[in-house]
Chain A
Amino acid sequence: MGTLLILLVLTLFLAAILTGGYNKEFLLRARQTKVWDWLTTVDHKKIGIMYFLSGFFFLLIGGLEAIFMRLQLAVPNNDLFTGDIFNQLLTMHGTTMIFLAAMPMIFGLINVIMPLQIGARDVAFPFLNSLGFWLFFWGGILLNLSWFFGGAPNAGWTSYTSLALNSYSPGLGVDYYVLGLQITGIGSLMSGINFIATIINMRTPGMTFLRMPMFTWTSFVTSALLVFAMPPLTVALLLLMFDRVFGAAIFDHAMGGSSVIWQHLFWIFGHPEVYIVILPAFGIMSEIISTFSKKRLFGYTSMVFATVLIGFLGFMVWVHHMFTVGLGPMSNSIFAVATMAIAVPTGIKVFNWLFTMWGGEIHFKTPMLWAVGFVPTFVIGGMTGVMLSVPPADYQYQDSYFVVAHFHYVLVGGTAFALFAGAYYWWPKMFGKMLSEKLGKWHFWLFFIGFHMTFFPQHFLGLFGMPRRVFTYQANHGLELLNLISSIGVIGMTLGTIFFMVAVVQAARSKELAPADPWDGRTLEWSIPSPVPEYNFAQLPLVRGADAFWLEKQAGNKEMTPAEPLGSIHMPSGSYIPMLMSLGLFVAGYGFVVKSWIIGAIGIAFTFIMMYIRSFEQDFGYHIEPEEINGSAKAKEVKA
């Protein structure tokens, strides 16, 4: 049934494209609409916004799944969501939050802000950027379609074998996991490559590496992690697909395979992954703390060094997720020491933030509230992390709620706080409107209190012996009260998020435009109008030091000194190919999930045809002439 539906839609789509729509005029009108503009855009700001908003959409879905789980766990012996449904909820919650919420929202901010911070007009590969977004989007849709067609994945977000093999996880759930993540993963790899090439090749004159803002630095290191950490996931998912769909025996003990290989491959990806989502958070917090303390970031070079060191060590510690597998005392010890070593650069960062605030002129705007809330929250998460890094102790903590509390303190207290902080901080730059300070403060306090209420008790639940990923517990074991408190805390986080959405709607409806530099900012993105014109900088700015815009303001200048005369600006043309290329993979992925080789082959062939079309097409973009830039800020594009 589902197969037929998909085939029908695809045929219609193809027919529409090949015949030029229902008629030529319709196509012409469609091309002039805003929807078409957004679907085909290669503008890094628009792609960033799409990343951020679709990431937020998935965050709401993942949050809903979390609410269901806490409802189930609020009282002992509850039977609201039991057994397999609960397993599906916890699997999809983790998978959605990491791959479809945290990463895309981070990519969104990097996409919008990083090119502005280095004074670039776009990323190095605008087409690839769009392709990365659409791969993420279709992969996410494929993963979530599992709820309606065949059941959601239920083997945990880590999808360990042998549990994830056909014999223990029959049905289509894990297949959706494998193929959905494979498609989004390719997109993430592309983004990583794109960001690195952008930062190395596209910096404006004077923007040396050690003058780059912290957010750009952390984006740089995160991108390097993406490039080297995504391939192990690709291989792991590929091999799992071979085992599940094509009858291979890589992970199957009965056929000589080894399930530990999955764990290695998954965590060689999985540990750098947590730094992929936390390093940009560090960058956002560094920007905000420095801006709202009216001080240069304390220990900038040590901050850069710490970031690079964390990125490097992040690849050396994956076995700490596998202490109880039984790899032996020697490898456990080495990986334990490497894990503890990461606390050093992280500690450097925490002290630098504190010293930046020390003696600063602190303004408690909403972004700064999040940043100040982040520091102690993240320190608690880091401290439990060091506790978990001790192998003998880990034998006690493993697979208990203590671990759940730990990683929610770093991922929510770190990444989610930073994403909200970044949203309030950069909203004027992204959308040209300010988010309400009043609602923002409500959001922060409700979310902050709700968060601690939910997750602080979970440390103790874990120490009292409550295992993670289990759908209920017995009464009279001392677990009822803490579980109830934990579930009540969810109300705070939910209300907080609702306040955020209200603030967003309010800002979208408001006619009041944001000023170019609402926070008295320090970096280049604040030196250009809000919202940013499509060419970003009419003239590329000349950078004379770290905190480039702040330096100019201190010297009495209102804007940056240009590094080039006013001239015609080259812009890339939009393209519908990235969306269709990803759609092809989506169809192929669906085909493999339902084991229909015809659909799979059609999808892959479609993607390859699109790649050939792309390779053979010649489109060199268009130019924006100086008159249009001077004429009005709303200089509209002209086709070349």
Chain B
Amino acid sequence: MASHIHPTDRPTKPGHLEKATLEGKNKVMGFWLFLGAETVLFACLFGTYLALRNSTMGGPTTQELYDLKLVGLATFFLLTSSLTSVLAMNAMNRLNVRAMQFWLGVTVLLGLAFLILEIYEFVHYVHEGHTFTSSAFGSSFYALVGTHGAHVTFGICWIIGLMIQTARRGLTYEMAPKLFLSSLYWHFIDVVWVFIFTLVYLLGKVG
């Protein structure tokens, strides 16, 4: 059943390295399940936000608050980072470690750019009087968008950790599934952001 590949072996043929070992297959399967659970988690936060987004209690409303230019730029950074993450996985499966490290680096930088914009946005909102404790709208907004931001932060730390490991150990059968999972996670964060952009920002402007 188990393949006779040792985890520290370096693959010599390109292909789907993440599923070459049983451990890898298990990890990919388990991680998809985890993403299923994460989907439900975000669905609950979305539901809460949509129910409470008009309870501004005299504070600024969604129309007054959101600035689509800033959010649009953040969206651009995050969605592009999804592309660079694909390029990194593509490089991995072609066994091109240097290209993979480069694209992972770009992914991290784009993620950081997104995060900086988001922090700037939050600081701006707080000055406008839209805080975590100011109203139910504020609480549910920061709960949803903040949870997403926390996920981005975790993803950045995770990918940096894996880049260090790859630099030390090279691309092994142990590393391939780890890298693949971080990329799955990164895509998931992007997909969630697409929904946040639509249901929070666009709907907040026009809905």
Spell out A's residues near B (CB within 8 Å). Answer: 124-125, 128, 189, 192-194, 196-197, 200-202, 204-205, 227-228, 230-232, 234-236, 238-239, 242-243, 246-250, 252, 255-258, 261, 264-265, 268, 540, 564, 570, 612, 615-616, 618, 620
With a cutoff of 8 Å between Cβ atoms, the chain B residues found around residue A238 in the complex are: 143
**In the bound complex, how far is the Cα of B36 from the Cα of A246, in angstroms?**
28
A620: min CB distance to chain B, Å: 5
- Chain A residues, CB < 8 A from B139: 239, 242-243, 248-250, 255, 257
Whole-angstrom distance from the CB of A188 to the nearest CB of chain B?
A: 11
Which residues of B lie under 8 Å from residue A257 when comparing CB positions?
52, 55, 136, 139
- B26–A197 CB distance below 8 A: yes
Could you mark each residue 19-42 of chain B with 1 if its beta carbon is under 8 Å from any beta carbon of chain A, else 0? 000100110011001101110110
Query: Bound state CA distance, A564 and B136, in angstroms?
Result: 61
Q: Which of B41, B57, B138, B174 contacts A235 (CB 8 A)?
A: B41
Q: Is B96 among interface residues, defined by CB-CB distance under 8 A?
A: no
A536 to B185 alpha-carbon distance, docked (Å): 34
When the two chains form the complex, which single residue of B29, B55, B169 contacts A201, counting CB atoms closer than 8 Å? B29
Q: B residues within 8 A CB of A248?
A: 132-133, 138-139, 142-143
Q: Please, which residue of chain A has its CB at the minimum distance from the CB of B142?
A: A248
* Docked-complex contact A235 and B48, CB < 8 angstroms: yes
B7 contacts partner chain A, Cβ-Cβ < 8 Å: yes
Does B69 reach chain A (CB closer than 8 Å)? no
Contact B52 A250 (CB under 8 A): yes
**22 A–B contact pairs at CB < 8 A?**
A125-B30, A196-B30, A197-B29, A200-B29, A201-B22, A227-B37, A230-B37, A231-B37, A235-B44, A236-B44, A242-B132, A248-B132, A248-B138, A249-B134, A249-B136, A255-B136, A255-B139, A256-B52, A256-B135, A615-B162, A618-B174, A620-B7
- B135: A residues at CB distance < 8 A: 249, 255-256
A261 contacts B51, C-beta separation under 8 Å: yes
Determine the distance from Cα of A125 to Cα of B44 in the docked complex, in whole angstroms: 28
Instruction: List residues of chain A with CB within 8 A of the CB of B75.
Output: none
Query: Is the CB of B45 closer than 8 A to any CB of chain A?
Result: yes
Could you tell me if B40 and A232 are in contact, using CB atoms closer than 8 angstroms? yes
Task: A117 to B41: give the CA distance in the assembly, Å.
Answer: 32
Query: Does the CB pair B133–A249 fall under 8 Å?
Result: yes
**Docked pose: A239 CA to B132 CA in angstroms:** 12
Does B207 sit within 8 A of A, measured CB to CB? no
A231 contacts B38, CB within 8 Å?
Answer: yes
Which residues of the partner chain A approach B77 to less than 8 Å between Cβ atoms?
none
Q: Using Cβ atoms and an 8 Å threshold, which residues of chain B touch A252?
A: 136
Known: A228-B36, A246-B132. 11 other contacts (CB 8 A): A124-B29, A124-B30, A194-B30, A196-B33, A197-B30, A231-B38, A231-B44, A248-B138, A248-B143, A255-B135, A256-B55
Cβ distance A156 to chain B, nearest Cβ, rounded Å: 21
Instruction: Please give, as numbers and ranges, the residues of chain A lying within 8 Å of B82 by CB-CB distance.
Output: none
Which residues on the A side are within 8 Å of B30 (C-beta)? Answer: 124-125, 128, 193-194, 196-197
Whole-angstrom distance from the CB of B197 to the nearest CB of chain A?
A: 21
List CB contacts (< 8 Å) of B128-183 with chain A.
132-140, 142-143, 161-162, 165, 169, 174, 178
The answer to whether residues A570 and B161 also contact, given A197-B26, A261-B48 and a CB cut-off of 8 A, is: no
Q: How far is the CA of A230 from the CA of B44 in the complex (A)?
A: 11
Query: What residues of chain A lie closer than 8 Å to B161, measured between beta carbons?
Result: 612, 615-616
Instruction: Give the residue name and chain of the B residue nearest to A253 (CB).
Output: B136
A255–B58 CA distance with the chains assembled, in angstroms: 10
Chain A residues whose C-beta falls within 8 Å of the C-beta of B134 in the assembled complex? 249
Q: Are B26 and A201 in contact (CB under 8 A)?
A: yes
CB of A212 to closest CB in B, whole Å: 17
Cα A258 to Cα B26 with chains together (Å): 41
Most buried by A among B33, B132, B135, B165: B33
B56 CB-CB contact with A under 8 Å = yes
Bitwise, B103-142 to A at CB < 8 A (1) or not (0) is: 0000000000000000000000000000011111111101
Task: Report Cα–Cα, A250/B133, bound state, in Å.
Answer: 9
- Note all chain B residues with C-beta closer than 8 A to A227: 33, 36-37
Residue of B nearest to A193 (CB): B33
Q: Would you call A620 and B6 a contact (CB within 8 A)? A: yes
- List residues of chain B with CB within 8 A of the CB of A236: 44
| Nearest 3 A/B pairs, CB to CB | A256-B55, A248-B139, A231-B41
Query: In the complex, which of the residues A249, A261, A570 contacts B138, with contact meaning CB atoms closer than 8 Å?
Result: A249
Given known pairs A125-B26, A197-B29, A265-B44, the reply for A258 and B51 (CB within 8 Å) is: yes
